[in-house]
Chains A and B, each alone.
Chain A
Amino acid sequence: MKFARLRAVFVAVAITLCTFGVAVESVSAQEKAGVRPGFEEAQIAGEKIVLFRPNVKVGSQSMAGLFEPRSEWTEDARRLMDAELVRAQSRLTNELQPMPALYGENAQLVAEYEALFASVASAVVEFQFFVGNRLPTRKKGDFDWTLGEGAERLSELTGARYGLFIYTEDHYGSTGRKILQFAAAGLLGVGVQSGVHKGYAGLVDLQTGHLLWLNADGQMGGDVREADGMEKRVRQLLEDFPGSLPEADDQ
């Protein structure tokens, strides 16, 4: 009798969690980075890299798991991210040049490629890094993704051979969420995740459109609302970036 009741509670909690889109903590069987076969770091040495405007989204997570966008946090994080990327420049061998302000058709072109990159990057995470989910055409696991040859126009536009895209999204668990997490663990032994912290960074060869390197993580560290945390976040995003200098040089 007691068992039946406990099972009912379990089922109810599981369904509820799924409804609000936040799954019970998953076993992390995911790859986090990919490099295009045949790509060598030496290739990009000294080349200019254009940095597309980083996409930064910060908010909190309601008790049940809804995302609550937070304007102040997002603004802080964006400011800190910009500053941190300037500092990170010292760890890179390439010149990182922010995307200049564009108008008219050029701005439309860049917007289109930003959207395309976002779709490709999420496809990589979904169908390449998540090994159990690989599409039949990707069973061998070759990291072969491209934005298409049209990306060359971005190279002409910016004068850069390579493009770097950065995305971060953070949902900080509210107090209510933490209480819920505690209650779920204490009463039922169910692990409810508090907070979402994901992000990726990707490098594209703008002359061929090929995605050369992608680093994506569903559980990133560093509090992006603080300078120290942002330093950690950017370091994680650019971990193993093809143009980075050995860590020791940085200190």
Chain B
Amino acid sequence: MMGRAAFGAMLLAATVLGAPAASSAQEDRENFLLPPWTGAYEPENIDERGFWREWDELETRLKHSKYVVRDPALQAYVEDVLCEAVGNDRCTAARIYILRENSFNAWMAPNGTMGVHTGLLMRMRNEAELASVLGHEFGHFEKRHTLQGFKQQRRTSDIVMWAAILAGIDLTNIYTLTIFEYGREQEREADLVGARYLAVSPYPSRAAAEVWIRLIDEDDARAEERKRRKRNRHTRWLDSHPAPLERAGYLARAAEAAADEGDYRADRYSEVMEPYLLGFYEDQLQRNDFAASKFILEQLAGEYWRPIHWVMQGELHRKRGTPRDLVTAEESYRRAINEGTQRPEAWRGLGLALMRSGDRESGAEALTTYLEKVPDAPDTAMLEMMVRGAQK
């Protein structure tokens, strides 16, 4: 076996040079090791101290933001996945903020502030996929990308300025392209650092490529619905990240080179997410993004539809609300209830769908069940009014 040892970038270099990666097991081991971690990292030069200070201030504000999901159990879980992904010595350098934001995203600031959007948590199918994204973000931190990116911008902008003043040459367009190119280079690097973390983690590193393939499929579903061109195949000049297809490609190659085994921990992931899933999905439904929302649900449920998935399908169709949707919604809620869902939202959704379909009596009955299950629901007044209206 070429080995867990050989890692993507190195293998690629070896291939290009035409030299077989024939190395002793010892060398393989060294190539494979993560860069040494020096413990609690502190900013080193004047620029870096400036960025950290600026972010310390922003983080203080973020702490008090109403978008932060303050749920100790979920918080502890995501922190745990990060530690599993990048290792216990590294992970304490990051402070995670789970943000109620329906987009597929996570981010990392130079001082170790990490933002994880609920839209990301909703879309991941297992722990390994989440670990791959968190590892990528941590890679930005470890490689100090904000600082490097700023230095590159400063260098380039100085040159552009002098070219204008001394020679009258306008290089601003080239400047813009250079900045984007450099940003994509950093994304690639973070991807490959992330792949490296994953290779030594308990997770299989092929999970990383799977995330991107699914993102492409989700956006294809969206493109079809909106009758626009499909994207994500080719990297263009003003893209902030390499095209997802390209990312999936080199991440798959890195995983192949690492040839690691691992556990996706899909069951644990869906167990932990179960209580939050519906709330995150409701936020996604606010986007008026039916085809993609449907795709997300189908990917989550896979071949094993659980009651929560039927409730989600009910919500998806009820919110679009064509007569056909209302029938599907009603069936979905009923199925969830028959299969023993504990979510009161199933009765609420069923009641509202029936009311809209014109079956006011059954609708009122379902809504009454909902109100019995959740006596202090925020929408009690409105629903009670609907129930009374149906009884007249």
Contact = CB atoms under 8 A, between A and B. Distances in A.
B157 A66 contact: yes
A110 interface: yes
B65 A9 contact: no
Interface string A61-80: 01111101111101100000
A13 to B, nearest CB: 5
Contacts of B164: 9, 12-13, 15-16
Given A16-B170, A187-B165, A69 B50 contact: yes
Contacts of B35: none
A180 interface: yes
A61 to B, nearest CB: 11
Interface string B34-67: 0000000001001101111110000001011110
Contact of B175 (A19, A65, A111, A112): A19
B158 interface: yes
B154 A180 contact: no
Given A15-B172, A16-B164, A111-B65, A71 B157 contact: no
A10 B168 CA distance: 7
Nearest to B49: A71
> How large, as a class, is the contact surface on chain A?
35 or more
Question: Majority SS of interface residues in chain B?
Answer: helix
Contacts of B169: 12
B170 A12 contact: yes
> Which size class do B's interface residues fall under?
20 to 34
A237 to B, nearest CB: 19
Contact of B46 (A9, A10, A70, A75): A70
Interface in A99-156: 107-108, 110-112, 114-115
B158 A8 contact: no
A66 B155 CA distance: 10
Given A16-B170, A71-B50, A112-B66, A184 B61 contact: no
Nearest to B50: A69
B161 interface: yes
Interface in B142-180: 150, 153-154, 157-158, 160-172, 175-176
Interface in A28-78: 57, 59, 62-66, 68-72, 74-75
Contacts of A8: 168
A58 to B, nearest CB: 9
A184 B165 contact: yes
Interface of B: 43, 46-47, 49-54, 61, 63-66, 150, 153-154, 157-158, 160-172, 175-176
Given A63-B158, A64-B161, 7 more contacts: A19-B176, A66-B150, A68-B47, A70-B50, A107-B64, A108-B66, A176-B158
Interface of A: 5-6, 8-13, 15-16, 19-20, 57, 59, 62-66, 68-72, 74-75, 107-108, 110-112, 114-115, 176, 180, 183-184, 187-188
30 contacts: A6-B168, A9-B167, A9-B168, A12-B163, A12-B164, A12-B169, A15-B164, A15-B172, A16-B160, A16-B161, A19-B172, A62-B154, A62-B157, A63-B161, A64-B161, A65-B161, A66-B154, A66-B157, A69-B53, A71-B43, A71-B50, A74-B50, A74-B53, A108-B64, A110-B64, A111-B64, A111-B65, A114-B61, A115-B61, A183-B165
